[in-house]
Amino acid sequence: MPLVNDLKTARRIVRNLFRTRMSRNQLASIELPAPPENAVVGVHFADGRVNLYQLRQWYGPLLELAKTHPVVIIARSPSATLALLEECPLPVVHLREIREVESFLASQELKLMFYVNQNMRNFPMLRFGRLWHVFINHGESDKSYMSSSQHKAYDYVMVAGDAALDRLRAALWNYDVDKRALVIGRPQADHFEGELPYTPDDRTVVLYSPTWEGDRESMRYGSIRSHGEALVASLISDARFRVIYRPHPRSGIQDSEYGAANTRIKEALRRANSLDPSANHIVDTGGDVGWQLQAADVAISDVSAMVYDRLATGKPLMITRPVSPDAEIDTSGYLGAAEWLDASDAQNVVEAVDRVQHDEDARQRLNYWVTRHFGDTSPGAATARFRGAVEQLIEEWHKHAALHEADPRVFASDDDDDEDDGASAGD
């Protein structure tokens, strides 16, 4: 088994190197847009194309912010840069080497640098001391990732609500949560995108959005192998339901059997549509996130940020219970009161869906946790809090800049590692 795993790892490394080389060659063959001259806010994205879902959900809030404070996306990976140049509505610059980062920063008046994940290549950027480094993350959840000590690397973090503050206080030693954590709610929920790919009817719509298999035992939250095939088979066998299946884009990247189960679910949904075209079951692998969460009558998710994206809508949801005994689950918060679906009950999912839709006690519990995690979820409220937090940090930047007015802006050189096209710590 160790030899098999080593061979799989070697093949994956070779594939990544080949794709990286192809992306570099493609980038070299096109004319890149001129970089902006007046950016105030930067977003550092060091991952490859596979993890762009972490950045896409911020397009809406960042576009709104750019109306008053110009925003630029700094992409370090060739594959991500190529995709961003095609899809991103914000200015994008490709800065693969640290010397290119230095040159760009020296030409700008950037005051804030945002980070949406914990990629190891964030670390070289953090040494630039004339701007605030702000971790904005790509979701809200009770994963261990959400309270890791990596938060301490940033000047500030933006979090969703009271639950996140309590999570950080409980997990991090010698960390001033009150000073360094800014509560903004979930501004992405104000900018959900995408059109329905079907015509609504009287079917109950169930969103099943499993996460990937994880890269370590503590994060084995993925349910595709343990729950997915049985629950999808149960739902598509009942003409009252329509399934929207949205698997994590990294599903199967570590475990080929997990990937095979993902493929079988997709094939089952396509067969069901061929037998009954009016079912309109959806295999959703698109970049738009939001319409699924709003459209579904009931959502079924693994322990992941999708739980909390759905929670922000205030609509019924269930969570699959991980089968791995080593998967870390923080039951002190919402997960301690959530509606759980065990693998042994996956074939009875129809009964569970019917129950959570009509249980008034479950509705009241849900409303409590929506408020605790996100505060005011009325349209536009979170976007306003995000903008207010940015204004606060820019004001703080000007105060510190005045104190150090006589200091030159210095960017020291450093060696740059070879690109890691897609390896990000956490989820």
Q: What is the CATH number of the domain that holds 53?
A: 3.40.50.11720
- Specify if 304 maps to a domain: yes
| pTM for this prediction | 0.75
Rounded-to-integer distance, Cα 348 and Cα 244, Å:
18
In tens, the pLDDT along 70-84 reads 999 999 999 999 999
- Specify if 396 maps to a domain: yes
What are the structure tokens assigned to 387, written together? 């903008």
What average pLDDT values come out for the chain (427 residues) when binned by 10 residues? 56 59 66 82 94 92 96 95 95 94 93 96 92 93 80 96 93 95 94 88 97 90 97 98 95 94 98 97 88 94 90 92 92 88 98 93 90 91 97 96 67 48 49
Q: What letter represents residue 414's amino acid?
A: D
Q: What letter represents residue 115's amino acid?
A: Y
Residues 300 and 317 in one domain: yes
Residues 230 and 174 in one domain: no
Residues 179 and 230 in one domain: no
- CA dihedral in degrees (140, 141, 143, 146; nearest 10)? 30
CA 224 to chain centroid: 19
- Specify if 411 maps to a domain: no
**What pLDDT score does 351 carry?**
96
Structural domain harbouring 293: 204-374
Q: What CATH number should be reported for the domain holding residue 221? A: 3.40.50.2000
CB 138 within 8 A of CB 114: no
Residues 179 and 210 in one domain: no
Give the total number of structural domains in the chain.
2
Residues 251 and 356 in one domain: yes
Using CB atoms within 10 A of its CB, is residue 287 exposed (0-12), middle (13-18) or buried (19+)? middle
Residues 256 and 158 in one domain: no
**What pLDDT score does 422 carry?**
46
- Specify if 11 maps to a domain: no
**What pLDDT score does 139 carry?**
81
Residues 315 and 364 in one domain: yes
In tens, the pLDDT along 280-292 reads 999 999 877 789 9
Residues 285 and 299 in one domain: yes
Residues 368 and 354 in one domain: yes
CB 193 within 8 A of CB 288: yes
Q: What letter represents residue 65's amino acid?
A: L
Residues 148 and 134 in one domain: yes
Rounded-to-integer distance, Cα 354 and Cα 344, Å:
18
CB 165 within 8 A of CB 183: yes
**What pLDDT score does 421 carry?**
47
Of 359, 374, 389, the domain-final residue: 374
- Specify if 423 maps to a domain: no
- CA dihedral in degrees (83, 86, 91, 97; nearest 10)? 30
Residues 82 and 163 in one domain: yes
Residues 51 and 162 in one domain: yes
CB 206 within 8 A of CB 350: no
CB 192 within 8 A of CB 290: yes
- Specify if 197 maps to a domain: no
- Specify if 422 maps to a domain: no
- Specify if 298 maps to a domain: yes
